[in-house]
Structure 1
Amino acid sequence: MIDRDTSRHEGSFDCMIVGGGPAGLAAATYLGRFRRRVIVVDADESRARRISLTRNCPCFPDSITGADLLDRLELQAARYGASLVRDRILSIRKTKAGFLAGASSPIRARSVLIATDAVDILPDLPGAADMIQAGVLRLCPICDGYEAIDKRVAVIGPVEHAMKKALFMRTFTQDLTLLITDPSELSRDKLTKLKRGRNRDRRMQTQCRLRDGPGGGRGAHRRRNALIRHHLRCDGLDHPLGARGRAWCML
């Protein structure tokens, strides 16, 4: 279904969609149904593909994997005439007739829709991507908080972000461990706020243990491994840094 040769798609399109995640593919379906000539250019880096299982996607009460969801969206967009290309857009230039995109082969379009999603900020842990795929490391409490109900959850990250997420996660579980990566930033005010949240339920724990030693020597490596073993005693690990947008520049 996905074409890897952009040279086959000649002529000008009504719209070029950059990004083949759920948003880009949904837009392609609508534009196709409006009888527009559409091309979707996707580098196969959608965050949705990492989703091991989602239970909050409308119309899928029994859950669906991110990969299956993307496959269905691609089939739907193609049914209404969208061209789907696996490629990377390197530049977009304004022309008199519209836009010229630099890829493996030039792509011309009257309009451009940027649907490149965002890039997850992952923790500095070995195998973080595999942990996400396995559903052990979770990045979004809005999406996955429900699955953490009454489970043991560790929140890892800088104190400013980790505290906010840990307090939010109390909606779902009171068995929380806070692993702070920058304990020197734990001010008296922040500690007081954290204690107030902890005192509401004695099962909420605070642990400030993730810190490399000076120079990151072997001692630091042993501490990091010990902490990873601690993580495995939890039902899940949450990381609060969210995502950053992809940078784009029109030339």
Structure 2
Amino acid sequence: MIYDVIIVGKGPAGLSAALYTVRANLKTLVIGKNSSELLKAHKIENYFGFTEAISGSELLKAGELQAKRLGADIAEEEVLGVNQSEDFEVITTEKSYTGKTVLLATGQPQKKLNLEGLKELEGIGVSYCTTCDGFFYRNLKVGVLGHKDFAAHEAEELKPFTSNITIYTNGRELEYSGDYSSLHEKFNIVDKTILKLEGKDYLERIHFSDGTAENLDGIFIANDSASSADFARKLGVITEGASITVDKDQKTNITGLFAAGDCTGGFKQVSTAVGQGAMAARKIIELVREKNARTEAK
């Protein structure tokens, strides 16, 4: 099945967009885990239409039920990557989906790695994009920092370039949905807590809290789950820090790829996210209808 639009993220921006695309008779899939920052909001009193305060979780639940009622497909799966050929391929922990267009709406990553040497070595041994930088580490010793499926996925992405790959969980228990024994056969797994990264002109070694150290040529950060910015970088989308650059119609520099909500930066409010989702949906509807018309004319 090819979806007209795949929306990555079940927050207010993604669900708002789905309400418009599904009512425009576009086959719509919304994918995401229940990890929106809105879930932490105990009371919301500045969103239009409520005489009494509502919690973030209640608002999200109502939005998801509304999207389902109108006909959207909802998949509670973790998205690991987004690829593009003729259409877009969205890869999750469970399977992969194909869509004519994609809307990124996962918000911004909130967890920051407080690791000595990380910031200083970004771009000279520390990378956030295996697709962008894996080529530079051919036949070298590289690491992936993370403890979830996203880290395992990034390690797989590095296999065409080198066989010397280590997943560093930074003292966290590995949370992997696949076959653990197979993962250990393919990669080295180090569960020690990382103390710091060291290097003068480039990354040279990684130090652990137990006093040991390892030489290392490069390390790719895949901490926790992938964000919209992670997907964007791999596709060659213009970003500024952790924010995706979009135009007034929520379009990125790649045709068919849109972004809305906190992942684009700006005023982080429910009303802003909902409005951006609606704007993105309007342009997605126009683009899909144009594509379908060209296909029918052939």
**TM-score higher than 0.5 here?**
no
TM-score (normalizing by structure 2) = 0.38
Structure with higher Rg: it is 1
TM-score (normalizing by structure 1) = 0.45
